[in-house]
Structure 1
Amino acid sequence: MMRAIVLAAMLVTSAAVADEGGTSFWLPGNFSSLAAVPTDPGWALPVINYYSSANAGADRTFIRGDRVSVGVRAQGDFLFLSPTYTFATPLAGAQAAISVASAIGYVNASADTSLRSPAGATVAGNQSDSRVGFSDLYPTATLKWNDGVHNFMTYAAAEVPVGTYDKNRLANIGLNHWAIDGGVGYTYFDEKSGNEFSSVLGLTYNFENPATHYRSGNDLHLDLAASHFFSPTFHAGLVGYFYQQLTGDSGSGAILGEFKSRVAGIGPQAGWFFNVGKSKWYANIRGYYEFATQNRPYGWNLWLTLAIPLSQPPAQ
């Protein structure tokens, strides 16, 4: 089980959450159970269906292109694919893997009022927008080490701004700026007791959006998961995250000031390993309820994940 396919636990994605327009590169909850556990070498295809619903009251304002939006509400539904290759030959004593994730998705967004900037003309009433499009690209590289029940990981990720974006629209899927992210992770997994705990800590550096001259601040994020294996193929437990913007937003487009954001989330999870032919697949469902928010929409999100091995498992 220690080397089963669990790549869906480390898919890097993006959706409506924080910073410029209430949206950040890092999506809290990216990492979950077994995040640092090595996997079988070869090709695999993690697939994630991610749904989110978030809102912010009339006392919260957000920069969206050339508008200051008040009372923002947003729903998103995304299907992410992340073809991943895990190398059989160790690198620095670790198992290395590379992947590139992207998604097609639907976003629906609305705002009670929008104020054009810098002219300041008021557009009264509810403004709404929806669209279907593609996300940015998210290349990721990981190194994982195993020492008995202890598993360690380091990762590096980036955002390549090629997704659907228009600075004059409320609903966007791409962010239109580059970002880099990196961090470390740990998983404790004792097959005898069936107990598992995972934690991944990372930092994001954001570059400026050239269309709006807005640079989101840098942030720290922590993903947590704990579960118990009730059988060799089924586990359940809790997941959580904490996201904190460390530096303020900047650039000529950041007319609301530093605008630091924060959020925490917690919820249940369950995962199953099952055989398809000679391959072992992995499915997971988890959800988060958000709280302790600051300068961002808040709500809930649901993840449905499936890790599909594409290479033949190694001979036993």
Structure 2
Amino acid sequence: MARRSESFVSASSVKVLSLVLALAGATQAMAAENGLQRYSPGVGGSDMTTPLVAGWYVQMPMVAYHANKLKGGDGNTATSATPTPVQGPVPAQPNLRSEVGIKADTYALLPRVTYLDNHQILGANVGFTVMLPLVKRKALFTASPIFAGSTVPSIAQPGYTTSINARVAGQNGSEMGIGDIEVSPLLHWEIGDHQAVTLAPTIVLPTGDYNAAQRVNPGYGNFVTFRPSVQYAFIGDGWDVGARAVLSFNTRNKDNGYFSGNMFNLDWQLMKFVSDDVRVGLQGYFVRQLSKDTQDLSIYSPAQLSAGAAKEITNGNKASVNAAGPAVGWLKNGGEMLLEGKFLKEFDARNRTEGQAFWLTVSKPL
């Protein structure tokens, strides 16, 4: 069976996927700032399970991510404290809560250029990779009071619902723009028959459009992320196996004092050729937040704090999710171009959205 001699590498990728946007009242139930992290789990594909040779490569992943579930720390629908209604003689109910709903959509183009040279350092070919995303994000929130076991009279319930809807409306948004650029040197080792390791110590810079006063932004915030990744590939005569382990370390957001906890991502792919130019398989990812979020409130004035500009993070709940799904790839002339599609379904989410992503990637060596 013919195998290609080119690779379509993207040694690390920016986080554009996995949109989680929390209500102001539900912020402490979510993890990372607005539930976001600067890595797109699932973006790696055939670049993890194909040979890599010296040369230039271009890659254009396109993704559509949709989520209509917002999960709390127990894996159930996220909840937030319900405020006292803004209308009518309704008694305060400090223990009353609301289920938080969301409809979140992210569409992104992730153009990447990668170069690998024949020059070696420590036995590894050296190179670099650069990616600048174009992102469209949209989020619509809903909240429903949970009246079970409460003393709220039925006549007062519409007042609570009106109050919640008024607060939710300020969190909705739809934005499109440039995202945060990532740059990284590459070190690529051939470590034996059919095996390779690639190291990419990536830096992500805050070049994206961002407004700290709104929930929905193309960029992630005014902070820097250091994101080293290690990728392993086994290119066999039957199944090909690839995996990428990624750690993300963030600085504090200068615009609002928020510090998103460190993240760990593991992407994997298992593929098999079923003809000379078509292969199929499975792909998935594993996401875990390693440290909780914090926030420096000293950047706010007492008046801003009393107006609700920010609140102390008391729990810093950590996000996690898993995903898996089918993948199929088509090679033109044994490696002249690659077209790959996949569908990844998320499950077992904690403190973030749970949805599904459709990926289509076009890759080509130059």
Question: How high is the TM-score relative to the length of structure 1?
Answer: 0.84
Is this contact kept in 1: 2:116–2:126, CA < 8 A? Answer: yes
Counterpart position of 1:60? 78
The corresponding residue for 1:133 is 177
Partner of 2:226: 180
Q: 1:196 aligned to 2:254? A: no
1:1-316 to structure 2, matched below 5 A, reads 1=3, 3-8=5-10, 10-15=12-17, 16-17=19-20, 19-35=32-48, 37-57=50-70, 59-60=77-78, 70-112=100-142, 123-127=166-170, 128-146=172-190, 147-176=192-221, 177-190=223-236, 193-252=237-296, 255=313, 257-275=315-333, 280-310=336-366
The question of whether the paired residues in 2 share the 8 Å contact of 1:107 and 1:173 is answered with yes
How many residue pairs get matched? 294
Change beyond 3 A, Cα 1:305–1:8: farther
Choose between structure 1 and 2: higher strand proportion. Answer: 1
**TM (normalized to structure 2)?**
0.74
Give CA deviations for 1:105-154 in whole Å, capped at 9, x if unaligned: 211112226xxxxxxx9744544211211101011232222221222222
Q: Which amino acid letter does the alignment assign opposite residue 8 of structure 2?
A: V
Pair 284,55 (structure 1): closer, same or farther in 2 beyond 3 Å:
same
Distance 1:12 1:129, change over 3 A: closer
Q: CA RMSD in A?
A: 2.6
Write the distance in 2 (CA, Å) between the matches of 1:8 and 1:274. 19
Where does residue 83 of structure 2 map in the other structure?
A: none
Gaps of 5+ in 1: 63-68, 114-120, 311-316
Query: What CA distance in whole angstroms lies between the structure 1 residues aligned with 2:291 and 2:4?
Result: 38
Secondary structure class of the residue paired with 1:7: coil
Change (3 A) 1:149 1:6: same
Distance 2:69 2:242 in 1: 31
In proportion to residue count, which structure has more helix? 2
- For residue 302 of structure 1, report the CA deviation from its aligned partner: 1.4
Distance 1:101 1:11, change over 3 A: same
Amino acid of the residue matched to residue 3 of structure 1? Answer: S
* Structure of larger gyration radius: 2
Deviations 1:183-239 (A, max 9, x none): 32211111xx33101111121111111112110101111111101111232211000
Is contact 2:248–2:264 with CA below 8 Å preserved after alignment? yes
Q: Which amino acid aligns with 2:365?
A: P
What are structure 2's unaligned runs of at least 5 residues?
Answer: 21-30, 72-76, 81-98, 144-162, 297-309
Distance 2:247 2:70 in 1: 28
How far apart, in 2, do the equivalents of 1:38 and 1:157 lie? 21
